[in-house]
Amino acid sequence: MVEPKTKILVVEDELPIRSFLRTTLAAHGFAVVEAGTAREAAGLAASHHPDVLLIDLGLPDRDGVELIRELRAWCRAPILIVSARGREEEKVKGLDAGADDYLTKPFGVPELLARVRASLRREQIAATRGDGRHLECGDLSMDTAEHRARLAGADVKLTPIEWKLLAVLMRHAGRLVTHDFLLREVWGPTVTEDANYLRVYIHHLRRKIERDPAHPVRLITELGVGYRLLAE
Per DSSP, the residues of 47-67 read HH--SEEEE-SB-SSSBHHHH
Q: Would you say residue 2 has pLDDT above 50? A: no
pLDDT at 197: 81
> What does the pLDDT average to over 118-142?
74
pLDDT at 130: 45
Q: Would you say residue 167 has pLDDT above 60? A: yes
Q: Would you say residue 82 has pLDDT above 60? A: yes
Q: Would you say residue 170 has pLDDT above 50? A: yes
Quote the mean pLDDT of the chain: 87
pLDDT at 74: 85
Q: Would you say residue 160 has pLDDT above 70? A: yes
Give me the percent of the chain exceeding a pLDDT of 90.
52
pLDDT at 138: 87
Amino acid at 89: E
Q: Would you say residue 134 has pLDDT above 90? A: no
> What does the pLDDT average to over 68-77?
88
Say how far apart CA 60 and CA 63 lie, in whole Å. 8
Confidence band of 37 (pLDDT split at 50, 70, 90): very high
Q: Would you say residue 52 has pLDDT above 60? A: yes
pLDDT at 1: 45
Q: Give all strands (DSSP E) within 121-209, no chain letters.
A: 134-137, 140-143, 148-151, 154-156, 176-178
pLDDT at 187: 83
> What does the pLDDT average to over 27-36?
94
Confidence band of 5 (pLDDT split at 50, 70, 90): confident
Q: Would you say residue 210 has pLDDT above 90? A: yes
Q: Would you say residue 131 has pLDDT above 60? A: no
Contact criterion met (CB below 8 Å) for 79 and 53: yes
3-state secondary structure of 8: strand
Which one, of 181, 183, 202, 172, lies nearest residue 210 by Cα? Answer: 202
Q: Would you say residue 90 has pLDDT above 90? A: no
